[in-house]
Amino acid sequence: MNRSILMSAGLVLGCVVAAGTANARDQIRVVGSSTVYPFTTAVAEQFGKTSGFKTPVVESTGTGGGIKLFCDGVGVDKPDVVNASRRLKKNEAEACAKNGVTDIVELKVGFDGLTLSESKAGPTMKLTLGQLFLALAKEVPGPDGKMIPNPYKTWSDIDKSLPNVKIEVLGPPPTSGTRDSLHELFMEAGANQLPALQALKKADAKAFEKAWKSIREDGFYVEAGENDNVIVQKLEANQNAFGIFGYSFLEENAAKLRGVALDGVEPTFENIAEGKYKGARPLFVYVKKQHVGVIPGLDKFVAEYVSAKATGEDGYLSKKGLVALPKAEGDKVRASALQLQPVAVEQLTN
């Protein structure tokens, strides 16, 4: 018994030591956003099949967590690529630089449309972003222009032309990257449409920001977890409910769901690509240039990601729900990515 205990302990310790010393890495490591995950994994798989290099490992850690790992420093034990469902912030780039990560290549890979969707069995609705703001915000301007807790219970409370149906919107929880998009794409744009809030923006920018960054918590907005498939299933069961999730889920479930037109523009592939649809956000992939040449195949991986057969209009990522960049912009991104041009920190915002 004694001997076997010692032996197993020795075995495990041996492994630990062996692993600690084995440092060279021949596999690309990607971390970051769960929104970009379905696209980067497809590129990684294709890259692994055709390039002769190992298939990159793609982790789904969320944008913020991914950037923190990415910016931790340069070296084989740090990730090479980070997926982001928003642009890198200036302070993040500065934190990166402090840790020695100075040359970051930015790839804008396409758009993800945020959609408000409903069951096809329910009545067709058309909303403006302002109406959506009034339905979802925690505080809305009252009759005198002062902010009051959201009194709206049915859609017809907001506007007589809308149906007399209880407001019920299923959407992402605060921990999700999609929630950030909900605030930035739907709520901020919606707030800007309301005269009372425009006045507030001029008078008190902080209060304005608070208004579009808070979502009601009285049961009319339901946090449905990180899993967008759950929202899809709930919408099938409830005709009067609306769901907020990425365009790829709407496309995959086109048999059951319909996208709600916002400001008169329906969430379709064309409208998102042309920039007509407001609820679209660009997706980014950042690459550590200092790892090119150290981690085998990293530059080839970048080339695969920006190639027309991946992110082009008819590329395999468009089948997965990614909305491609307009052709001119796509060509520009491709050209600068292939030269591995680092992003200028001054261009970034906080």
Interacting residues toward another protein by CB under 8 A: 1, 4-5, 8-9, 11-12, 15-16, 18-20, 22, 25, 27, 29, 31, 34, 37-38, 40-42, 44-45, 48-52, 54-55, 57-61, 77, 120, 226-229, 246, 248-249, 251-256, 314, 316, 320-321
CB of 335 to another protein, least distance (A): 25
User: Whose Cβ is closer to another protein: residue 1's or residue 344's?
Assistant: 1
Whether the Cβ atoms of residue 41 and residue 58 lie closer than 8 Å to each other: yes
From the list 70, 63, 55, 68, the residue with the least C-alpha distance to 103 is: 70
**Count of Cβ atoms closer than 10 Å to residue 349 Cβ:** 9
From the list 345, 269, 277, 344, the residue with the least C-alpha distance to 313 is: 269
Q: What's the CA gap between 134 and 129, in Å, rounded? A: 9
Q: Which residues contact 310 (CB under 8 A, 6 or more apart)?
A: 42, 43, 46, 304, 316, 317
User: Whose Cβ is closer to another protein: residue 38's or residue 282's?
Assistant: 38
The position carrying tokens 């605060």 is 174
CB of 330 to another protein, least distance (A): 19
Q: Is 309 helix (H, G, I), strand (E, B) or coil?
A: helix
CB of 39 to another protein, least distance (A): 9
CB of 287 to another protein, least distance (A): 17
User: Whose Cβ is closer to another protein: residue 75's or residue 275's?
Assistant: 75
CB of 62 to another protein, least distance (A): 10
Whether the Cβ atoms of residue 135 and residue 311 lie closer than 8 Å to each other: no
CB of 31 to another protein, least distance (A): 8
Residue ranges in 167-244 assigned as alpha helix (H):
177-181, 188-192, 195-203, 205-213, 228-237
Q: What's the CA gap between 148 and 40, in Å, rounded? A: 43
User: Whose Cβ is closer to another protein: residue 66's or residue 130's?
Assistant: 66
User: Whose Cβ is closer to another protein: residue 26's or residue 204's?
Assistant: 26
Dihedral through CA 18, CA 23, CA 24, CA 26, nearest 10? 80
User: Whose Cβ is closer to another protein: residue 223's or residue 252's?
Assistant: 252
Whether the Cβ atoms of residue 152 and residue 140 lie closer than 8 Å to each other: yes
Kindly report each contact of residues 327-331 with a partner whose C-beta sits within 8 Å and lies 24 or more positions away, as own/partner: 329/108
CB of 131 to another protein, least distance (A): 27
Whether the Cβ atoms of residue 272 and residue 110 lie closer than 8 Å to each other: no
CB of 55 to another protein, least distance (A): 4
User: Whose Cβ is closer to another protein: residue 220's or residue 316's?
Assistant: 316
User: Whose Cβ is closer to another protein: residue 42's or residue 337's?
Assistant: 42
User: Whose Cβ is closer to another protein: residue 123's or residue 142's?
Assistant: 123
Rg (CA), the chain: 23
C-alpha angle 307/270/155, rounded to 5°? 135
CB of 248 to another protein, least distance (A): 5
